[in-house]
Amino acid sequence: MQDLKDKVAVVTGGASGIGRGTALALARRGVHIAIADLHEERGAQTARDAESLGVRAIFQRCDVSRDEDVGRLRQAALDGFGRVDILMNNVGVLPVGAFDEVGMAAWERCFQVNLFSYVRCTQAFLPDLSAQAEGHIVNTASMAGLLAYDPKSLAYGASKAAVISLSEGLVLSLRSRNIGVTCLCPGGVATNIRDHMSAHGDTTFLGEYCVRHVKSRQPDEVGEMVVGAIRENRFLLHTDDSVQDILVRRAQDPEGFLKEMGDFIESLA
């Protein structure tokens, strides 16, 4: 999707962090924006900031775990702009704690928000994306979905791994409709994800492997990367090239890599 001017993007979780950074990066290219979020004040401000860049923008409060809310979001986007070209699924909750301390309710909530909302929103907007000459979906996953580097965030990592698999399948499923798919797997990014964190035990050294091995980014930097991936129709998007080297090491020697990871985790105790 080389020509972005006057396209329309729906960004869930767009009030802050990567969602906001991407919404504004798109707005700078002339994309009109529909922001969806639970945080009304921040969401409305992001819409105003997008408008200051010369595009039209709206904010719609939306709980993406509810069919009715997603339906209202779709209608608001169509009422406001008449079309949707880009959908960014970008929400997440983070239950943390040892495996036996995080109960089933937290696991179910994690998958409802982190995975099923992506399915829900994609199914809702697919007819609108298909109606255009070309469309694009961006699914925010995580480096935690690529490798289990933190035993205190297993539910989060498992849900994001499912997002990666879903995204890869969508590439094949939607190719004939000329709808591209980008799966964003950020490492360290300065977002407010901890606002959506629920602690179920000790959270010491949470994410320490990522902190020590992967370059941290600002949301605006990631937003620019996402725009580039949409234009290039790129599937897998890391926020640090070093992640590729880590994945190659794991693929070449899975047993040795797990031992290396286990030794690192034990060294933190």
Which residues are tagged catalytic?
156
Q: Give residue for tokens 């300065």.
A: 190
Report d(CA 120, CA 116) in Å as an integer. Answer: 6
**28 exposure class (CB count in 10 Å sphere: 0-12, 13-18, 19+):** middle
191: nearest Cα among 179, 178, 207 = 207
Report d(CA 64, CA 49) in Å as an integer. Answer: 23
Please report, as a single letter, which amino acid is at residue 244: Q
DSSP state letters, 121-162: HHHHHHHHHHTSSSEEEEEE--GGGTS---TT-HHHHHHHHH
- The H or E element that residue 94 is part of is strand 94-96
- Degrees to nearest 5, angle at CA 90 with 125 and 80: 45
Report d(CA 143, CA 148) in Å as an integer. Answer: 9
Specify whether the CB–CB gap between 89 and 102 falls below 8 A. Answer: no
